[in-house]
Structure 1
Amino acid sequence: DHDVHLDLALEMAEADLAKRTDAGAWDAYAWALYKNDRAADALQASEKALSSGMQDAGFFYRAAVIRQAVGDDERAADLLERALELSPRFHPLHAEAAERLLAEVR
Structure 2
Amino acid sequence: TNVFAYPGGASMEIHQALTRSSSIRNVLPRHEQGGIFSAEGYARASGLPGVCIATSGPGATNLVSGLADALLDSIPIVAVTGQVTRRMIGTDAFQETP
By relative contact order (CA 8 Å, sep 6+), the higher-ranking structure is: 2
Higher strand share: 2
Query: If each structure's helix is expressed as a fraction of its own residues, which one has the higher value?
Result: 1
TM-score by length of 2: 0.33
- Output the TM-score relative to the length of structure 1: 0.31
